[in-house]
């Protein structure tokens, strides 16, 4: 998965106007108590980040 795909999926799940704010503010324990932005900046694989987002948002298996 590419970074652009992560943002596209987050835009679909949260809305384009909210996804970046959520990624900046929402701390995920699955990412070591980091936000999406922090995890990406720290080099966490995009797929790992997406899986954490998917779990936190309780998205359907189809969206995985």
Domain ranges of the chain: 3-63
User: Rounded to 5 degrees, what are φ and ψ at 27?
Assistant: -90, 130
Confidence of residue 61 (pLDDT cuts 50, 70, 90): confident
pLDDT attached to residue 60: 80
Q: What is the pLDDT of residue 43?
A: 97
Contact 26, 56 (CB under 8 A): yes
Q: What is the pLDDT of residue 64?
A: 61
Buried/exposed 48-62: b ≥16 CB within 10 Å, e otherwise: ebbebbbebeeeeee
**63/49: higher pLDDT:** 49
Query: Over the stretch 5-30, which tens digit does the pLDDT of each residue have?
Result: 999 999 999 999 999 999 999 999 99
The answer to whether the Cα torsion of 4, 8, 9, 13 is positive or negative is positive
Contacts (Cβ under 8 Å, ≥6 apart) of 49: 6, 31, 36, 39, 40
What is the pTM (predicted TM-score) of this model?
0.90
Averaged over 49-55, what is the pLDDT? 96
């Amino acid at each position: 998965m590419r970074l652009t795909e992560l943002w596209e999926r987050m835009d679909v799940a949260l809305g384009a106007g909210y996804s970046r704010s959520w990624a900046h503010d929402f701390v995920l324990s699955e990412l070591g108590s980091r936000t999406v932005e922090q995890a990406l900046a720290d080099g966490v694989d995009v797929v790992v980040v997406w899986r954490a987002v998917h779990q936190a948002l309780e998205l359907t298996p189809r969206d995985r």
